[in-house]
Amino acid sequence: DDFLKVSKKNTKGLPGKIKLLGQFSIAALAAFWISYNTADPLSTALAFPFFKNYLLDLGWFFIPFAMFVMVGASNSVNLTDGLDGLAIVPVMIAAASFALITYLIGNIQFAEYLQVHYVAGSGELTIFLGALVGAGLGFLWYNAPPAMVFMGDTGSLALGGALGAVSVVTKHELVLAIIGGLFVLETLSVIIQVGSFKLTGKRVFRMAPLHHHFEKKGWQEATIVIRFWIIAVILALVGLATLKLR
């Protein structure tokens, strides 16, 4: 997609349907692999935050659910990447939060103490997530306003997909919706905007995604970015609190 945009010098890139088809295809392969390589009873289960040792067996529905999580996370980060530094810091915050989660649930003693499900081998993801945070810091050096480097779809879709995949592996999909709540809000603003315009011909926001709404209201770009970072930190703390509040 980014290659087409650069080579043809326009913003069209791949058609949306083709892009989504590719995303769902990759997500389907990942979902099957995760389910096959996860021991029962976690292989097709959904865990709920704030509840001790409660699992909902999704059965065959686990595959489409996991696909939805990964594709949704991928595109939500992509939608958030609209201002200099806006997306990468919340991604790093989410990755750091999940680095802690993967370390804890990958250690049987910590998992038993916190009364969360032990996921064998998930501690290895801590290294991956730490590397993601480190790479994000290096990228932020050049993406800080005024940005000299942009992640494009190649970066935002991959980062979101990585967070989604980690949440599926660790059975913390619902916690991702809390920790990555900023991305959820940005996505919901687009869904609400499009739905409202199609149904009533009226727009709820001045512009979507949400950060553009505040731009239209006259907020400075730096103000929007920093306040959204603050929201991301608060939501990450709430998400991490679910480990103990059970």
Determine, yes or no, domain membership for 51: yes
Determine, yes or no, domain membership for 57: yes
In this prediction, residue 42 carries a pLDDT of 87
Kindly state the helix (H) or strand (E) to which residue 205 belongs, with its residue range: none
In this prediction, residue 74 carries a pLDDT of 97
Cα dihedral sign, 18-23-28-30: positive
Q: Which residues partner with 56 through β-bridges?
A: 46
pLDDT profile of the chain (246 residues), mean per 10: 67 80 96 90 90 87 97 97 96 98 95 91 95 97 92 94 97 97 98 95 94 96 97 98 86
In this prediction, residue 52 carries a pLDDT of 78
Any binding-site annotation on 153? yes
In this prediction, residue 9 carries a pLDDT of 66
* pTM given for the model: 0.92
Provide the domain count of the chain. Answer: 1
Domain that includes residue 159, residue range:
2-241
Determine, yes or no, domain membership for 246: no
